[in-house]
Amino acid sequence: MNCACKLSLGNQIIGLPANLRPRFLSGLSPAQLDSVLSVAKHRRFRASSVVINEEDPAERFFLLTSGHGRHFVITSDGRKILLHWLSAGQIFGGAAILSVPFEYLANTEVMSDSCALVWERQTIRELAAKFPGLLDNALSIAVTENIAWSTAAHISLTSDDAHGRVAHLCRLISTK
């Protein structure tokens, strides 16, 4: 598995892959970034691994550092419905940062061998209190990436014909 995370001999995270600029960590000073990374755990996941299960308690917060994945739900009749694609630099498990314990709303699966930084719920909450920019970044990501996409998809599904839905989806993908 090819992972470019910078780890100490004791597997403590000492740096991100060279070209990775996660939006979640934007605005942090180098010292703040070191503080946030030093308490994360580094995890490797094999392709097709389900990392988060829908309805499990939201106990971990993830930053994908390599590979790609997807959020999905399983319908009552057993169909897998794709919700959102993930690429390196994106976060998932965001419900863990909430002040009130919550459960994950969807499953998350990595599609390729992947690595992620992981923070336990209490740790990410403490970091968000210490560095409020993290909570701002997480909220900004939730609104501009997830809610905006869901709203646009819902509008398209309820108002466009099949040709319009495909065109709308192509516009959404091209803006990512």
Asked, for residue 29, whether it belongs to a domain, the answer is yes
Range of the domain at 38: 6-130
Q: Compute the distance between CA of residue 90 and CA of residue 19 in angstroms, rounded to an integer.
A: 13
**For the chain, what is the domain count?**
1
Please report, in tens digits, the pLDDT of each residue of the chain (176 residues total). Answer: 668 888 888 878 989 998 999 999 999 999 999 999 999 999 999 999 999 999 999 999 999 999 999 999 999 999 998 888 999 999 999 999 999 999 999 999 999 999 999 999 999 999 999 999 999 999 988 877 766 566 666 666 677 677 776 776 666 555 55
Residue 176 lies in a domain: no
**105: CATH:** 2.60.120.10
Task: Work out the angle at residue 88's Cα, subtended by the Cα atoms of residues 130 and 26, and round it to the nearest 5 degrees.
Answer: 35
- Is position 157 within any domain? no
Looking at residue 132, what is its pLDDT?
96
- Is 151 contained in some domain? no
Q: What local confidence, expressed as pLDDT, does residue 144 receive? A: 76
**What is the 3 state secondary structure string of the chain?**
CCCCCEECCCCCEEECCCCCCCHHHCCCCHHHHHHHHHCCEEEEECCCCEEECCCCECCEEEEEEECEEEEEEECCCCCEEEEEEEECCCEECHHHHCCCCCECCCEEEECCCEEEEEEEHHHHHHHHHHCHHHHHHHHHHHHHHHHHHHHHHHHHHHHCCHHHHHHHHHHHHHHC
Inside any domain, residue 175: no
